[in-house]
Amino acid sequence: MKILMVQDWLRSGGTERQSVFLANAFAGRGHAVTLLTFRPDGKLHGTVSPLVNRKVLQARDWKLDWFAPRLSTTARALAPDVILCMGRMANCRGGELQKACPAAAVVATMRTGKPLPWLFRRSLARVRHVVANSEDARHALERRYGVAVDKISVIYNSVMFAPVSARVTSTRAELRARFGAQATTTVLLCVAMFRPEKNQRELIDIVAGLPRDSDVQLWLAGEGEAKAACERAVATSQLKERVKFVGFLADPAPLYEAADVAVHASASESLSNFLIEAQAHGLPAVAYEAQGISECFVPGKTGWVVRRGDRDTFQTHLIRLGGEPVEMRRTRAVAAKAFARERFDSARQVQAYLELFDGLR
C-alpha cells in the first residue's frame, strides 16, 4: 500500500511524534510510506526511519506553518492509495488533497480541542474518512461539526515512551539529586510544549498555593514561546526551589521514572500524550477537565479530573497523593500501567490504521 502522510512541520509536539511513529511503523510493515512536510527540519527530523521517503515542500524554511507550495502537484505525482493528514495545518488542506487525488482515500484526523478553522471544517465534509483520537473528539465531530457517524473511527494515540526499567531506573536518584529533590520529596511532572493553551503558568500558581512546609517540586519539561513568561513568574514569586525547568528531552522516560505525580492544566486537548505516557510509567495524574482528559486514565483510581479553575481541589489531590503509603502508591502504579498497556498499545494502534486504510481502498 502507498501511504502519504502530511504534516506541516516536525516540531516536538505530541501530534508530530505520533506522525513520525506511524510513518516508521507503516514502513516497517512493508508499506511504501512518504512523510511530506511543509517546512524542513524540526526537532523530530532525525527520528524518521530511513525506510520512509521524506519530502519537503518549502525549499527553505520560511517559518510559515501554512505555506505548502506545490502540495497538490506533489501528491498527484506520488499517486498514493491513502493520504493521512496530521495536525491542524495539514487537515486544513485535506479537501484540496481529496480533490487533487480522487482515487486516494484522504483521511483527516481530529487531535485538538481548539475551535477548528474554516478550511479544516470544510475539509471534514470533503475527505473520505476522519479519525478521532478520543471518544470526546468523536462527539465533537458529530455534534459540533456535523460529521456523519459512519464517517468517523476512534483510534487512540499510542504510548511513545514506554518504560525501559533497566535503562532508566538508575537515573532516578541522579535526576532527583540534580534538581535538589530528596527521597521524601513529591515530584510533580508536566511534559508539554510551552504554548499558552498548555497553561503551565496555572501549575506554577497551584504549587505556589501549597502549604509552605510541603516537600514538593514541580518539574516542567519542554520548550516553546510561553516558557519565558513562566520563568519570569517563578523568579518574581521566589519559587526557584519548588519549580524546575528541565528543558526538552528527546526521550523523557527518565523524567517519568523520577517523578511521583503527573499534573496537567491544559485548556485545549483531544487526548493528552503526556498523561497516557505518565500512566504507562505508573504515575497517578491530576488534571483540569478538557476534551479527552478523562479517557487518559481511570478516573478516581489512577487519575483525577478537576473542574477548571478549582485550585483548592487540585491542591487537595496533590497533598493526599504525596502522603499516600508506599504500598498504595505501588497498587496505583500497577493499575495505571495495566490500563495504559490495554488502551494505548502501539501495535494495536498501527493495526487499526492499516485495517481502516484497507477498508477505504
278: domain CATH number is: 3.40.50.2000
Residues 140 and 238 in one domain: no
> 6 φ, ψ to 5°?
-120, 130
Instruction: Determine the Cα–Cα distance for residues 12 and 43; give it in Å rounded to an integer.
Output: 6
pLDDT digits (tens, 9 = 90+) for 14-47: 899 999 999 999 999 999 999 999 999 999 999 9
Residue reference for cell 488534571:
287
Residues 51 and 172 in one domain: no
If one counts every other C-beta atom within 10 angstroms of the C-beta of residue 112, the result is 22
Residues 148 and 182 in one domain: no
For residues 118-141, give the mean pLDDT.
Answer: 97
User: Taking the alpha carbons of 81, 86, 92, 93 in that order, is the dihedral positive or negative?
Assistant: negative
Domain that residue 128 falls in: 2-158+345-360
Residues 317 and 330 in one domain: yes
pLDDT for the residue numbered 170:
55
Report the phi/psi class of residue 247: left, alpha or beta, with left for phi > 0 and alpha for psi in -120 to 50.
left
pLDDT for the residue numbered 165:
52
pLDDT digits (tens, 9 = 90+) for 216-256: 999 999 999 999 999 999 999 989 999 999 998 888 999 99
Residues 350 and 334 in one domain: no
Instruction: Determine the Cα–Cα distance for residues 33 and 36; give it in Å rounded to an integer.
Output: 10
Residues 135 and 172 in one domain: no
In 197-217, which positions are buried (b, 16+ CB within 10 angstroms) versus exposed (e)? ebbbbbbbebbbebeeebebb
Residues whose CB falls within 8 Å of the CB of residue 334, separated by 6 or more in sequence, listed in order: 282
Residues 131 and 68 in one domain: yes
Residues 35 and 119 in one domain: yes
Answer yes or no: is pLDDT of 111 > 80: yes
> Which among 86, 45, 65, 37 has a CA at the least distance from the CA of 250?
45
Instruction: Determine the Cα–Cα distance for residues 332 and 335; give it in Å rounded to an integer.
Output: 5
Residues 137 and 35 in one domain: yes
Q: Which contacts of 169-176 are long-range, i.e. CB under 8 A and separated by 24 or more positions? A: 169/257, 171/254, 171/257, 171/258, 172/254, 172/257, 172/258, 175/254, 175/255, 175/258, 176/258
Residues 193 and 84 in one domain: no
> 95 φ, ψ to 5°?
-65, -40
For residues 98-112, give the mean pLDDT.
Answer: 97
Answer yes or no: is pLDDT of 350 > 70: yes
Residues 337 and 207 in one domain: yes
Residues whose CB falls within 8 Å of the CB of residue 242, separated by 6 or more in sequence, listed in order: 207, 208, 216, 217, 218
**Bridge partners of residue 84, in order along the sequence:** 5, 107
Instruction: Determine the Cα–Cα distance for residues 302 and 330; give it in Å rounded to an integer.
Output: 11
Q: What confidence category does residue 129 fall into, taking pLDDT thresholds of 50, 70 and 90? A: very high
Mean pLDDT of the chain: 94
Q: What confidence category does residue 277 fall into, taking pLDDT thresholds of 50, 70 and 90? A: very high
In 262-277, which positions are buried (b, 16+ CB within 10 angstroms) versus exposed (e)? bbbbbbebbbbbbbbb
Residues 170 and 205 in one domain: yes
The residue ranking higher by pLDDT, 147 or 162, is 147
Instruction: Encode the chain in three state secondary structure.
Output: CEEEEEECCCCCCHHHHHHHHHHHHHHHCCCEEEEEECCCCCCCHHHCCCCCEEEECCCCCCCCCCCCCCHHHHHHHHCCCEEEECCHHHHHCHHHHHHHCCCCEEEEEECCCCCCCHHHHHHHHHCCEEEECCHHHHHHHHHCCCCCHHHEEECCCCCCCCCCHHHHCCHHHHHHHHCCCCCCCEEEEEECCCCHHHCHHHHHHHHHCCCCCCCEEEEEECCCCCHHHHHHHHHHCCCCCCEEEEECCCCCHHHHHHCCEEEECCCCCCCCHHHHHHHHCCCCEEEECCCCHHHCCCECCCEEEECCCCHHHHHHHHHHHHCCCHHHHHHHHHHHHHHHHHHCCHHHHHHHHHHHHHHHC
pLDDT digits (tens, 9 = 90+) for 32-90: 999 999 999 999 999 999 999 999 999 999 999 999 999 999 999 999 999 999 999 99
Task: Work out how many domains the chain is built from and give that number.
Answer: 2
pLDDT digits (tens, 9 = 90+) for 153-211: 999 999 877 665 545 455 788 889 999 999 999 999 999 999 999 999 999 999 999 99
pLDDT for the residue numbered 166:
47
